[in-house]
Amino acid sequence: MTLDPEDAKLVTLARGARARIGARSGASLRDELGRTYSAAEVHLPTLALSALQLAVAQAVASGAQSCECAVLVTGAEHADPAADPGISALEDFAGAGVPILVCAADGSVTARLATKDRD
């Protein structure tokens, strides 16, 4: 499957964030202005954030108002990507209909999800 060049860039950013620290998952997103944010999951004794939660937090802290697309890169051992708490954070931030590309460690797309409306 051929990705749009901007979406392929998000895959590269998420893979890079994951690889930099050897994390199980990495994520990236593109805001409404085309700015990108990438992150790896964080596990400390007093703080645990999924990669997507951290990417959303970076976007919000940078003044982003919405999100055009998000990418989640996981290893094969990762639990169900649809259960990632970052999806709820993305829904809170950007609302319904934001595409989320779920990718394997090699960057191949394994699933396409979308945020849902949060009532």
Here the CATH number for the domain that contains residue 26 is 3.40.140.10
> Are 28 and 37 a contacting pair, CB within 8 Å?
yes
Q: What residue numbers bound the domain in which 36 lies?
A: 5-114
Total structural domains in the chain?
A: 1
119 in a structural domain: no
Tell me the pLDDT tens digit for each residue of 48-95. Answer: 999 999 999 999 999 999 999 999 999 766 568 888 999 999 999 999
> In the predicted model, what is the mean pLDDT of residues 29-40?
98
Give Dmax (Cα) for the chain. Answer: 40
Banded model confidence at residue 101, pLDDT cuts 50, 70, 90: very high
17 in a structural domain: yes
* pLDDT number for residue 40: 98
Q: Does the pTM exceed 0.85?
A: yes
